[in-house]
Structure 1
Amino acid sequence: MVENAQSKNQLFIDIDEGKIPKRVPVYTWMDITYIMQYAGVDLRKAQWDVDKFKDMIEIGAKSFQSDINPATFTRIQPVYNILGAQNFVMSSEGQIQHPEITGMGPEDYDEMIADPYKYTHDKILPRLYKNLDTTPEEKAKVFAKAFKAHSDIFGQIFAHHDLMNEKYGLANDRVGCQTVAPFDQVADQFRSFTGISSDIRRCPDKVVAACEAVTPMMLKAGVKPHSSRQKRTFIPLHMAPYMREKDFEKFYWPTFKALIEGLWENGAAPLLFVEQDWTRYLDYLNELPAGTQMMFEYGDPKVIKEKVGKKHIVTGLYPLTLLARGTKQECIDKAKEIVDILAPGGNYIFTFDKVAINIKDANPENIIAVNEFVKEYGVY
């Protein structure tokens, strides 16, 4: 059966509406840097060549047998260059890395809590982006230039995605915007992993207040005019697996749950990237509003299906590492095992456990073989 864009979109719409689709939808995520390496271009140069992004989008659309174009743009180097980013820097090989950097000292909690918007603008951003550490007039110019570049580049990306979806019969991208769990925001961009780990012992009340203070910011970032079940708010979850459960209950969960409930109340359906192993917290996740999509990195698929798969949409769990080193048959056998566990009853989209970033992360031939297999095998 020949499937067009409309029939593939319907697979995901059925999932979002709690119906069992005709077959398991296949959603492969890979950073544009993976596709650039697959195409054989110089990664260090290609991330600057905005005009050639459309070629990479087309290669993603026609090559990997995903129901949605796998080309994902998360880090736009020209914008980071305009801002003078310290928190996202390009390595010698061309990969964008996130070094541990502290944007806020522990002595600044009170100031940040009092007005997180003002503090972020006045203190955090100039520390993370050196070109904003200047006069108000120059800062405004840098902001305007970066915002214009960001808007222009993503405008081109979205337009070409639409063209390629029509040309190759692909479903629409499911991600409409991104936000961050409040505790992760305080940890990742403000205090760093080391800093927040110390703070929850030394000044726990201020950490709680800081998470509460930034929650409205995170909610605002996660709601757009186009937000819907089909255009979801992507949220990568970072810190929870590294915390003791009692610390998770106190510092992470309350504001994270409030954020997710707030998104749903404002018409924005979340898509969570559940990083590392959240087995300890599956019962918490099941408390979230029904229909939340959860892309799991690690865990027992049977337990995850039983704990959250009846209420929520489960994705992930197929090991990217197997695609890197396994034979084609080993990869297909694993796909069958995962689909047999997660597909019954619906609420399942086939994805890998991680986003492919480097060409070494996965053998392209294995990706294609697995995606083709799931499309043929995962019929309800």
Structure 2
Amino acid sequence: MGERKFTESQAERIELFQDVYEGRIPKRVPVEVSVSWEAAIRYSGLELKEAQWNTELYGVFFDKVCKEFNTDKSPIMPTLRNPVHYWLLGSKAIIMSESGYMQHPEIYCLEPEEYDLFIEDPYQCMVEKLLPRLYEGLDAGKDEKALNLARAFHAKNRTGAVMGATMAEMIEKYQFAAFPAGGMTEAPFDFLADFIRSFSGIAKDIRRYPEKVLKACDAVLPHMQKLAVVPSSSRYSRTFIPLHMAPFMRPKDFDQFWWPTFKKLMDYIAEKNVGVKAFVEHDWGDKIDHLGELGNRVEFQFEYGDPQKIKQTLGNKHIISGLYPITLLQTGTEKECTDKAKALLDVLALDGGYIFNTDKTIYSLEGKIADNLKAVIETVKTYGRY
């Protein structure tokens, strides 16, 4: 097969991101905004509980959002939480609410007295003990469990193929910049907190069983490394890492439990010459200096924080995105929304190293949110030229 040819418009958009990733100043600030699957469905006038199950409707809401929001990467991506396979597996960890949104309740699957078992062989423990506790379909006899798993994988692959084909169609139709999907992983401590012990459970464990928590983080690190680097990974196909627990921890606990194995994970990814996009959840004001210690030109999407301090601390060696408050799109006038975008550009876009993005995924386009977002996107494209 020959090398893929891009149109001039698409090539220009790709170059914007490549320039930022490589440390060059692009022609203008690239725009990357993420609209959730649920927001896109409702914006298209469809019912959540129907459209999430009906693959024939995927193209309708994908096209509606891609057509109306002139971002540089697609404003909507395939969801990680399609309900079909979760339902087939009898998931307790990811469930659909009455409103139709997929949610992650506070849940755990490892008992404190089982830490030693987990530390000895995390993968075996997860397969044999933990997954059956999270998914009722895997808590069954050998034959029934195999059948449930096969059904779920078939459904996941089928819906994934439709989403992938729909996404490829949108990229070509609207000339978005796109790179192959990279890996996705977590800080070892966050992985333990997310499903294994829960946020509240891990907060107690660092007081009651500190040595076991530290050993568990070390034990699960190789698994997190494996998830981080996949065959398609590169400087452009970046590994996504959501940073969960750190802002809710005391600096002393953060330094002892969270940072060491995360630093090892980041060093491993850097050694493989793979780029990283990290979603910096909540406010890292008292821990941001740690991020400055990292190499590898990480893209940090911030939820909250002081733009000036973030730029000063990280701007010389990393990429900054996020910080635009989606709440303003709901409450502000068009002028207030565009003025906020300009203010962020004045601080964060100086000397490059900035990708415009909102502070979090947009979960609603109702009311005046959509019109304000469109105005912000166009403002960034004109005001954000170098």
Q: Output aligned runs, 1:178-257, within 5 Å.
A: 178-257=184-263
Q: Which residue of 2 aligns with 1:32?
A: 37
Q: Does the aligned pair in 1 maintain the 2:137–2:149 contact within 8 Å?
A: no
User: Structure 1 residue 293: deviation in Å?
Assistant: 0.7
Match of 2:335 in 1: 329
State the alpha-carbon separation in 1 of the partners of residues 192 and 205 from structure 2. Answer: 11
- 1:140 aligned residue: 146
Q: Name which of 13, 17, 32 aligns with 1:8.
A: 13
Q: Which residue of 2 aligns with 1:66?
A: 71
Aligned amino acid, residue 180 of structure 1: E
For 2:113, give the aligned amino acid: E
Q: Does 1:341 align with 2:318?
A: no
Q: Any residues of structure 2 matched to 1:4-153 within 5 Å, and which? A: 4-72=9-77, 73-153=79-159
Query: TM-score w.r.t. structure 2 length?
Result: 0.95
- Aligned counterparts of 1:360 and 1:61: Cα–Cα separation in 2: 16
Separation in structure 1 between the aligned mates of residue 151 and residue 20 of structure 2, nearest angstrom? 40
Q: Equivalents in 1 of 2:185, 2:56: separation in Å?
A: 27
Question: How many angstroms does 1:159 deviate by?
Answer: 2.5
1:252 counterpart letter in structure 2: W
Give the distance between the partners of 1:218 and 1:6, measured in 2 at CA.
33
Q: Deviations over 1:68-126 (max 9, x none)?
A: 11113121111111111101111111111111011111001000000000000011111
Q: What SS is found at the alignment partner of 1:280?
A: coil
Letter in 2 for 1:176: G
Cα pair distance change 1:320/1:86, threshold 3 Å: same
Question: What is the rounded CA distance, in whole Å, between the counterparts of 1:97 and 1:144 in structure 2?
Answer: 24
- 8 Å Cα contact 2:270-2:296 kept in structure 1: no
One-letter code aligned to 1:368: K
* Matched residue SS, 1:314: strand
SS of 1:93's equivalent?
Answer: coil
User: 2:3 corresponds to which residue?
Assistant: none
Counterpart for residue 292 of structure 1? 298
Question: Higher mean Cα deviation, 359-368 or 124-133?
Answer: 359-368
Q: Which deviates more from structure 2 when the two are superposed, residues 134-143 or residues 362-371? A: 134-143
Distance, in Å, in 1 between the alignment partners of 2:235 and 2:159 is 25
> Which position in structure 2 is the counterpart of 1:155?
161
TM-aligned CA deviation for residue 268 of structure 1? 2.7
Give the partner amino acid of 2:214: V
Cα deviation per residue 1:171-195 (whole Å; 9 max; x = unaligned)? 1157523211110110111111111
Contact kept? 2:25, 2:352, Cα under 8 Å: yes
The match for 1:363 is 369
Q: CA deviation at 1:305?
A: 0.4
Unaligned runs of 5+ in 1: none
Per the alignment, residue 311 of structure 2 pairs with: 305
Q: Distance in 2 between matches of 1:30 and 1:255?
A: 32
How much has 1:264 moved relative to structure 2?
2.2
Report the 3-state secondary structure (helix = DSSP H, G, I; strand = E; otherwise coil) of the residue aligned with 2:278.
strand
Deviates more, 1:161-170 or 1:13-22: 161-170
- RMSD between aligned residues: 1.6
C-alpha contact 2:93 2:105 (8 A) present in aligned 1:
yes
Matches within 5 A, 1:259-278: 259-278=265-284
Change (3 A) 1:204 1:154: same
Gap change, CA 1:174 and 1:27, over 3 Å in 2: farther
| Amino acid of the structure 1 residue aligned with 2:204 | S
Length-normalised TM-score, structure 1? 0.96
Relative to structure 2, which stretch is displaced further, 5-14 or 175-184? Answer: 175-184
CA distance in 2, matches of 1:154, 1:238: 26
**Secondary structure at 1:295 match in 2:** strand
Code of the aligned partner of 1:92 = E
Q: Is the 8 A contact 1:175 1:234 kept in 2?
A: no
Distance 1:327 1:127 in 2: 48
Please give the alpha-carbon distance, in whole angstroms, between the structure 1 residues aligned to 2:295 and 2:59: 37
Q: What is the deviation of 1:362?
A: 7.1
Q: Structure 2: how far apart are the matches of 1:155 and 1:342?
A: 38
Unaligned 5+ residue runs, structure 2?
1-6
